[in-house]
Structure 1
Amino acid sequence: MLVRQSSKATTLPTEMLSHIFLLSSMTSHQTALAFPVTISHVCRAWRSIAIGTANLWTTIQFTRLPSIHPSLMDYEQQRTWLTRSKGAPLHIHLVLNQSPKKEWNEEVLDRHWFSADDMDRVLDLIIPEAHRWSSAHVLTDSYAPMYRFLQRSSHIKAPILKDVELYRCNHFYGQSAEFHPRRFKDSFPLFESAEKLESVTLSGVHVDWGSTG
């Protein structure tokens, strides 16, 4: 006769399991993305605890899914994470670079897989939560989406934002003393206000420091 035995882990207090889940998710950025989903599919009890642990769901990342058009990016998943994170501080990661084998001339025609309109769709989700941004990292290799991010974020208040990293990861911007593409030469303030800001890293990105609050 087979007797089903419960794991001793299921007898731990909810608060302890929640803390263990949080510690386990902090080992790396990729773990922070994968662990909450994995742990929430172990059993019904753990799923309930995981979903109820807001800090498990605070890494919000938008990036290209393999072989998927940006219109099919997993916006619903990120919307779910935003909901589950409740009022907890958020870590925003926008990883929007194209394959290094792809090349294009930004001055002539923008054929990048991720456009300014696609960035608008992402920003429509995360800007309403700007009061919760703790960090914001944006990586692109086409300036159109970065320009849109700078344009729209110049009007937002981010009261707990501490760390900002904005990277334009190509060499096009360094070919001359003049900014390229020329149509994006205008600069914007880096947020309307971000009084807790401690660290800013910019690469191939220009902002209007004189108007930055």
Structure 2
Amino acid sequence: MEEATATTAVEDGAPVAVNLARRLPPELLSDVFLAVPSGASYKFRPIVPIRISSVCRYWRDIALNTGALWSTITFFDTPSFHIAELFLSRSPHRALDVVLFGGWNDGAWPMTKAADIVLPALPRWRTLTVDSRNRVQVFEVLSLIMHRCQLEPAMRPRLRDLTFVAVGTSMCAIAQVQPCMDMLKPDSLSFCGVLPHRAISFGRHARHLSLHCLTNGAGRPRMGHLQSILQSCTRLESLTLSHVLRSGGGWRPERVVLPALKEFTLRGGSSTCAACILRAVDAPSLHSFAIRTDIRVIVDPLQSFLERHGTSIRELRISKIYLDTADCFQALPNLDVFGLVGSSSVGTSLKGMVSYLTKPNAAPLRFSTIEIATTTISTGGIESLKTLVEQIPIRSLSVRAQSRYAESKIRRSDESWFRERVEVKAWVFRCEETDPRARCFEKFVPGVHSPYSLPSTAVT
């Protein structure tokens, strides 16, 4: 972006060039630059470095002096270690998000060399993501980290999140993964690719657990394996299961009691496994529940789950509501936030909710907030949403869609209609997925099911 100028006039009539770029204060530009790489969620930072070029000197100076912009130290299939050193020098005293990925080809570059570069900044590590496909390399890296923490206890970071990608299921994986977890004591643990070994203990430190893209891959983990893991997570406050096992039996008729669980997200994967999880999980403190899967085939276990937790649930986000499944609202007397997420059939769900309100003896809908995050929404869906706003005591509304439903004049008119009646927190169209970790790239990489398994030819 080149420097933008505009021509104006002063009292004596002489033209003056005004630098429009400099009208934005540095603190505002810093916030803009930070918002671009992080998307809509503070939890995510890009896996590739940000390269800033062809901008005016004023903007460039602000970017270079915004330390948080350079706080993601990434090694991803590149021998250019000087880039990481440059990022470290531009983010002094900042908390760091460290991503250690080996090359896609064996022997491409030593991961231990990458670790050596960032180890001096170990106390500043906020998150650590480790590529675990090459166990020899990952064990060497974890050994280096643990050795440094043992030699200098004051160097041990206060990790917000520790992520292992494509962790194997054999016993040899335990040798370093468990000691590393015990040493670093992360607040949150994430496993992407396959299930961790059942011998790993999750109940000691982590309060948040995410299991992404679980497959029947190496070691062929079964649903009973997943059940054993969940039964050991008695201290969890939040749990995310994304693309859980698509096949495999062995789920025992036992309850999985999670007394401290407040947030639970279940997304994609096997309907059979999802039904087993819904029947088994008992979370008396559950506050927020999100489910994004084929709702119609798990109606009964979903209804049972909501009835068991209905008095505690305040937030429900679901991919689709049918007329015959809208009765679930009767089990949620204290619901405050209702969301429709992910589905392209939001209009059908909204229409079903409107029809539900006309049913005899239908329970009144009392939630105060509606959140919609979808791929598409139709004009009919917007009209159904207007009907809901008129019939339910809604206070706030958020609508985000990846495509536009009508021309801009109609969208502005609809937005004005809603703003006259409720607080509109978001009215955004043509938006993209805010967190790539919510996506599944299995269709691009045969045989691999992990949100981090990008094809080598992908443009990021």
Partner of 1:163: 161
Conserved in 1, the CA contact under 8 Å of 2:38 and 2:46?
Answer: no
The residue matched to 2:101 in structure 1 has which SS? strand
Partner of 1:153: 145
The residue matched to 1:88 in structure 2 has which SS? coil
- The alpha-carbon deviation at position 23 of structure 1 amounts to 1.8
Q: 1:163 to 1:145 in 2, by over 3 A?
A: same
Q: 1:185 to 1:126 in 2, by over 3 A?
A: same
- The alpha-carbon deviation at position 208 of structure 1 amounts to 8.2
Q: Distance in 2 between matches of 1:84 and 1:57?
A: 6
- After the TM superposition, which residues 30-179 of structure 1 pair with which residues of structure 2 at under 5 Å, given as runs? 30=46, 33-34=49-50, 37-38=51-52, 41-65=54-78, 73-96=79-102, 98=104, 112-114=106-108, 118-155=110-147, 156=149, 157-168=155-166, 173-174=168-169, 179=171
The residue matched to 2:157 in structure 1 has which SS? coil
Normalised TM-score (structure 1): 0.68
Normalised TM-score (structure 2): 0.34
- The alpha-carbon deviation at position 179 of structure 1 amounts to 3.5
- The alpha-carbon deviation at position 95 of structure 1 amounts to 2.2
Identity of aligned residues (%): 23
Q: Distance in 1 between matches of 2:75 and 2:184?
A: 23
Q: CA-to-partner distance for each residue in 1:30-59, whole Å, 9 max, x for gaps?
A: 48732xx22x54121111111111000001
Which of 188, 210, 214 pairs up with 1:199?
A: 188
The residue matched to 2:31 in structure 1 has which SS? helix
Determine which structure has the larger helix proportion and give its number: 1
Where do 4+ consecutive residues of structure 1 move more than 6 Å? 204-209
Q: Distance in 2 between matches of 1:139 and 1:121?
A: 14
Q: Distance in 2 between matches of 1:83 and 1:125?
A: 12
Determine which structure has the larger strand proportion and give its number: 2
Partner of 1:104: none
Which of 24, 34, 38 pairs up with 2:36?
A: 24
Matched residue type, 2:180? L
The residue matched to 2:93 in structure 1 has which SS? coil
- The alpha-carbon deviation at position 199 of structure 1 amounts to 1.0
- The alpha-carbon deviation at position 204 of structure 1 amounts to 7.0
Q: Distance in 2 between matches of 1:185 and 1:159?
A: 22
Partner of 1:106: none
- The alpha-carbon deviation at position 191 of structure 1 amounts to 6.3
Q: Which of the pair has the greater relative contact order for Cα pairs under 8 Å at 6+ separation?
A: 1
Matched residue type, 2:88? L
Larger Rg over CA atoms? 2
Q: Distance in 2 between matches of 1:192 and 1:129?
A: 20
- The CA RMSD measured in Å over matched residues stands at 3.3
Matched residue type, 1:200? L
Unaligned runs of 5+ in 1: 66-72, 100-111
Q: 1:26 to 1:119 in 2, by over 3 A?
A: same
Q: Distance in 1 between matches of 2:60 and 2:35?
A: 16
Matched residue type, 1:130? L
Q: Distance in 2 between matches of 1:208 and 1:152?
A: 21
